[in-house]
Every structure is written in structure tokens, then in C-alpha cells.
Amino acid sequence: MPGKSVLITGTSTGIGRAAAEMLAAKGYRVLATMRTPEKGRDLAENAKANGWDLTVVPLDVRDGASVRGALDQAGDIDVLVNNAGFEVWGPLEEMTVDDVKDQFETNVYGPFRLITAVLPRMRQRGSGVIVNVSSVAGRVSALLNGLYSASKFALEALSETIHYEVGHFGVRCHIVEPGGVATPFPDNRRLVGAAAGDEGSPYRELITQWEAAADRLTGGARAQPEDVAAAILDAIETGDKLRYPVGQDANLVFTARKAMDDAQFESAMRQQLGLAW
Ligand SMILES: NC(=O)c1ccc[n+]([C@@H]2O[C@H](COP(=O)([O-])OP(=O)(O)OC[C@H]3O[C@@H](n4cnc5c(N)ncnc54)[C@H](OP(=O)(O)O)[C@@H]3O)[C@@H](O)[C@H]2O)c1
């Protein structure tokens, strides 16, 4: 699809940045969107030095006017990559409805705003691709990530429905599901309750145990953002399946989940993680 235009959200760092660079290097016209365009100066300079067709465009996925402004500037879009996201992290009991809204505003309403904005034109044209960056947490929930997981489950549900509804019109939708990826993502989490250091919380011990356990699934090895960018490229260009898991941990979890019932899976994961909670 080189020469086609692709709009990517959240390209200031991590997976979005790697995808913007990989697709631009492949010859796509890249609209590299980010909510703070100053963070994209080096990306724009790199694009210029390499002769890439890449423009940094301001876009905050939480703001409808910002989405409309970016799409007006972008013109016709062949491919939309919903990548921007973050995590509200902590025990569910210590969350509020405002925390739920905050999590969903970026991870669910954001992609929804973009999808509904680009779909009419894609449908009329009879072509287009939407790639939604979900997570292993979009199919399997875990301790402490209830809101994040709920937001990615919701994104997966929207994606499946879109896949069923608009394939008829020649528009494809794909879901990319990374496990742990080496990006600034963990540093950008918003921590709540015990996770934010609330000493009086009954969940303090869980935070300690989880932090010790988290790397046991991967042996500390995380996928690189370029691995996820390659899966995004594959989804755009091959598009032969709905879901694209990325990383050893994601594949291990999905394989185990498929092979086991609920109790077997819980027991296997507790054992793997060494959790005594
Ligand atoms: N890293 C992982 O382990 C992992 C695993 C599975 C799935 N994912 C998913 O992969 C996607 C990218 O994450 P990442 O790992 O690359 O993390 P990251 O480095 O923290 O990147 C997140 C990106 O989203 C942007 N963003 C956040 N809120 C936004 C908003 N309101 N409007 C526009 N952009 C916004 C950030 O921009 P700012 O710089 O302005 O904050 C940043 O560009 C996310 O959807 C995440 O859920 C990550």
C-alpha cells in the first residue's frame, strides 16, 4: 500500500513512534499525530533527512474538536491506526467512577471518535483499513489492571463489530495485541490507591507481590516497539486475520487460555507468577 495515507495516534513515543517511522520508510504518507506536537520535532527532522512523506499533526484523542481539526488537516485517510493509550493502575476497590471515565476517555472513546469520523468516507470509497492497538489485557484480565483491561476488552468488542459490519463495504478492521513492550508505557501509568503509595491500603502487599511477579511471565524479555510496528504493517498489508498477537508472553497467555478452563488457567498463571495472594 505505499503511497496510501495513514493516520496514527500517539506517535510521540513508543509503538506509535516506531509505526510512524516504519510506515514512512515503506513509502506511506504518514500523518503522525500527537497531543503535544513539540515532542515530534526530532521525528519531523528525521523524516526530512530520510525524504519521508511524514507530517506531525496535533491531535488529542480525548477532544472531539481536536480530532475534527486533525482530520481536516489530514485529508483523505486510507489507514487509521488507533494507538494512543495509557493505563490507570491499582486495586479496583480503590477506583472511582471518575477513574473509569478517565481510562475510557482515552482508550475507548478516543478510538471511537476517530473510527466514526473516518468510516463514512472509507465506506463511500469502498476501501480502508482500521488497526486498533489493544493488548494481551484486551482478552485476559489480571490483578490491578481492571480498568485498563476493561478499556481494551471494550476496544476489542468495538473492533469485532466493525470487522463484521464494514467488511461488506470493503473496509477492514484488525486488532494488534502486544504483551509487554519496552516503551515508556509503565512510567506513564496513573497510579491509584495502594499503587500510588497509600500506606493504609489493604492492597499494599499485593502491589509488592505483583511487582516481583510481573517479569516472571517474560523472563524480563519484552518485545520491542518495532515488533509491534511490524505487526501493524502486516495487518495493513496482509490483513489475513482479525487479531495479531505480538510477543512471547502474549502467545503463551493466549495459548494457555485457549487450552484451559477458568480454574486451570488461574492456577497455571498463579504458579507461573509465584503469586501467594
Ligand atoms: N508498552 C506495552 O507494554 C504495551 C502492551 C500492550 C499494549 N500497549 C498499547 O500500545 C499503545 C501504545 O503504548 P506505548 O507502549 O507505545 O506507550 P507510550 O510510549 O506511553 O505511548 C503512548 C502514546 O499515547 C499518547 N497519548 C496518551 N494520551 C493521549 C491523548 N489523549 N491523545 C493523544 N495521544 C495520547 C502518548 O502521548 P504523550 O507523549 O502526549 O503522553 C504517547 O504518544 C497503547 O494503546 C497501549 O495501551 C502497550
- What is the pTM (predicted TM-score) of this model? 0.98
Within 10 angstroms of residue 69's Cβ, the number of other Cβ atoms is 15
**So what's the pLDDT on residue 214?**
78
Residue 212 in domain: no
pLDDT value of position 1: 75
Confirm or reject: Cβ of 187 under 6 Å from ligand 1: no
User: Does 210 map to a domain?
Assistant: no
The count of domains in the chain is: 1
Q: Read off the pLDDT of residues 201-228 as tens digits, 9 standing for 90 and up.
A: 999 999 999 998 877 877 778 999 999 9
> Is residue 13 lining ligand 1, measured as CB closer than 6 Å?
yes
Query: Quick check: is 183 in a domain?
Result: yes
Is 207 within a domain?
A: no
Catalytic center residues? 148
Q: How many angstroms separate the alpha carbon of residue 36 from the centre of ligand 1?
A: 13
Work out which ligand 1 atom sits closest to the CA atom of 82: 45
Residue 107: inside a domain: yes
- Dist. CA 14 → ligand 1 center (Å): 7
Q: Given this model, what pLDDT does residue 117 score?
A: 98
Identify the pLDDT of residue 221. 81
CATH number at 112 reads: 3.40.50.720
Beta bridge partners of 33: 57
**Residue 92 placed within a domain:** yes
The pLDDT value recorded for residue 245 is 98
Cβ–ligand 1 distance for 265 under 6 Å, the answer no
Q: How far is the CA of 231 from the centre of ligand 1 (A)?
A: 16
Residues of the chain with pLDDT under 50: none
What does the block give as the cell for 66? 481536536
Work out which ligand 1 atom sits closest to the CA atom of 107.
Answer: 45
**Separation CA 5–CA 8 (nearest Å):** 10
Domain assignment present for residue 37? The answer is yes
Look at residue 31 and tell me if it is in a domain: yes
Residues spanned by the domain of 58: 5-199+222-250
Question: In what side-by-side order are the strands of the sheet with 5-8?
Answer: 54-58, 29-34, 5-8, 79-82, 128-133, 171-178, 243-246
